[in-house]
Structure 1
């Protein structure tokens, strides 16, 4: 589906923004870049800003008009930072991503159209778009860098695409891992741990069996509050085992000397 989405930059004045847009696209898995009358392209500055996405620049199509850039597209979405006199269907980036995937799933080509750095798209250009897309930035400072605006839209598209593929979000992965690790150690496992802990503390000289005081009782309360899982209990038992091995090796060395 991502192969059906093209990013169209209209009359870009700074070549670095072209490179930055290409980098943003490649980060999110998009590969179609179309440039409408760029002021400076090809450019070494664009290559430098692309930072590894030069292949997108090499494949970029340079055309003479917006009509040519969006030819064959079933859905055209134009970005706009300003309210316009003529009312037009307006989407935010997340809604834009949802519409984009619906169209791409149906086999249609989609174009994201971005305007000039200093003025955006003209009213005439925006009227060629099915929807306008507005990034809800802070009204007191709403001017986004062109490459940053591209990054916002293609990020939302990728997140929508991942969701459509059934891939879990980072939070869902974390919750799944937590569930797997949340099986608590049983009472008998805790008792074996406390016995192991007491022997180890004795081996290293931290606990005097003749004068234990309340050390083990306090440690029981500590680990009881922690409610360790089975996985965590295995880690703790492993640490104790390796500690006992280290103490044994040290004792062997001292005996030989």
Structure 2
């Protein structure tokens, strides 16, 4: 059984972890690996740790930024070992797998893993619709990157194996991709800044809250186009251009 979910590793520092991740993926039926700014890749160490999953490494996509790696994805899950203080939607791996099952095959899905020592930044989390946390013993919660990937891939396989994929209620248009959402957020933030709504001191947190709001809404491509049209109509620069020089 092949599971069409992309695993994205952001700034992996150890090539061995990349190879072990490829092995963990292939044992569970996943083959779509994306690497964001890896320190060392390709690498003989990665190939050795892959233990036969060389095809996953050879077909891996390498990008310099996270938006590039997820631009065609409609649903993005961020994995984190740390529970953030902000009110981010957080689920365990089993619930996450069920959430992904409901979205396949209609939506393209990615699971994003952060750097080994720091995890995903708040900026990266802002590009995710959901956050998955693997519960561990509080006294020793250290999970290797490939171990975490293995847990998530295993839960996906157990959720999908032997059952037909039940999708959510059909929509009139495909969900907006990560690239389309990012374009909307950048457009909205520019207009809000021009209107004086975004205060320089508090804008970072407000931007994250706005992203969470629209992630919960899960807009499709038609809805994103409507939102872009609304934002364009409210752009202060538009009225300045219409008035012309004083």
Q: Specify if TM > 0.5.
A: yes
Q: Is the 8 A contact 1:25 1:151 kept in 2?
A: yes
Please report how far the alpha carbon of residue 3 of structure 1 lies from its aligned counterpart in structure 2 after TM superposition: 4.5
> Which residue matches 1:180?
none
The answer as to 2:128 corresponding to 1:139 is no
Q: In the TM superposition, what whole-angstrom CA distance separates every residue of 1:184-238 from its partner, at most 9, and x where no partner exists?
A: xxxxxxxxxxxxxxxxxxxxxxxxxxxxxxxxxxxxxxxxxxxxxxxxxxxxxxx
Q: Is the 8 A contact 1:74 1:109 kept in 2?
A: yes
For 2:61 and 2:75, the matched residues in 1 are separated by 19
Shift in alpha-carbon separation, 1:2–1:104, aligned structure 2, 3 A: farther
Please report how far the alpha carbon of residue 4 of structure 1 lies from its aligned counterpart in structure 2 after TM superposition: 2.6
Please report how far the alpha carbon of residue 68 of structure 1 lies from its aligned counterpart in structure 2 after TM superposition: 0.7
For 1:147 and 1:153, the matched residues in 2 are separated by 10
Aligned pair count reads: 165
Please report how far the alpha carbon of residue 76 of structure 1 lies from its aligned counterpart in structure 2 after TM superposition: 0.5
> Which residue matches 1:101?
101
> Which residue matches 2:21?
21
For 2:157 and 2:3, the matched residues in 1 are separated by 12
For 2:55 and 2:70, the matched residues in 1 are separated by 21
> Which residue matches 1:129?
128
Higher radius of gyration, 1 or 2: 1
> Which residue matches 1:38?
38
User: Counterparts of 1:78-97 in structure 2 under 5 Å?
Assistant: 78-97=78-97
Q: Is the 8 A contact 1:3 1:32 kept in 2?
A: no
For 1:101 and 1:2, the matched residues in 2 are separated by 13
Q: Is the 8 A contact 1:74 1:103 kept in 2?
A: no
State the 4+ residue runs in structure 1 displaced beyond 4 angstroms.
Answer: none
Please report how far the alpha carbon of residue 83 of structure 1 lies from its aligned counterpart in structure 2 after TM superposition: 1.9
For 2:2 and 2:107, the matched residues in 1 are separated by 11
> Which residue matches 2:226?
none
Please, which runs of 5 or more residues in structure 2 have no aligned partner? 166-246
1:140 is paired with a residue whose SS is coil
Q: Under a length normalisation based on structure 2, what TM-score does the superposition of the two structures give?
A: 0.65
Q: After the TM superposition, which of the residue ranges 49-58 and 73-82 deviates more from structure 2?
A: 73-82
Please report how far the alpha carbon of residue 29 of structure 1 lies from its aligned counterpart in structure 2 after TM superposition: 0.4
Q: Under a length normalisation based on structure 1, what TM-score does the superposition of the two structures give?
A: 0.62
> Which residue matches 2:56?
56
Give the superposed CA RMSD: 1.4
Shift in alpha-carbon separation, 1:3–1:163, aligned structure 2, 3 A: closer
Please report how far the alpha carbon of residue 157 of structure 1 lies from its aligned counterpart in structure 2 after TM superposition: 0.2
Please, which runs of 5 or more residues in structure 1 have no aligned partner? 167-257
